[in-house]
Amino acid sequence: MGDLDGQVAIVTGGARGIGFAIAEKLAARGASIAIFDVMPDEAEASARKIAECGVKALGLQVDVTDEESVDAAVKKAREEFGRMDILVNNAGITRDNILLRMKAEDWDKVLAVNLRGVFLCTKAVARYMCKARSGRIVNIASVVGMVGNAGQANYSASKAGVIGLTKTSAREFASRGVLVNAVAPGYIDTAMTKAISDEAKESALSQTPLGRLGLPEDVAAAVSFLCGPESAFITGHVVPVDGGMAI
Give 173-178's long-range contacts (Cβ < 8 A, gap of 24+).
173/126, 173/129, 173/130, 173/135, 173/137, 174/235, 174/236, 176/129, 176/130, 176/133, 177/133, 177/134, 177/135, 178/126, 178/129, 178/130, 178/133, 178/134, 178/135, 178/136, 178/137
Residues 6+ apart with CB under 8 A from 100: none
Is residue 12 within 8 A of residue 19, CB to CB? The reply is yes
DSSP alpha helices (H): ranges in 82-210? 104-111, 117-132, 144-147, 153-173, 191-194, 198-206
The reply to whether 187 belongs to the active site is no
Chain length of the chain: 247
- CA distances, 50 to each of 54, 61, 77 (Å): 8, 16, 16
Catalytic residue among 107, 119, 155, 187: 155
Active site residues: 155
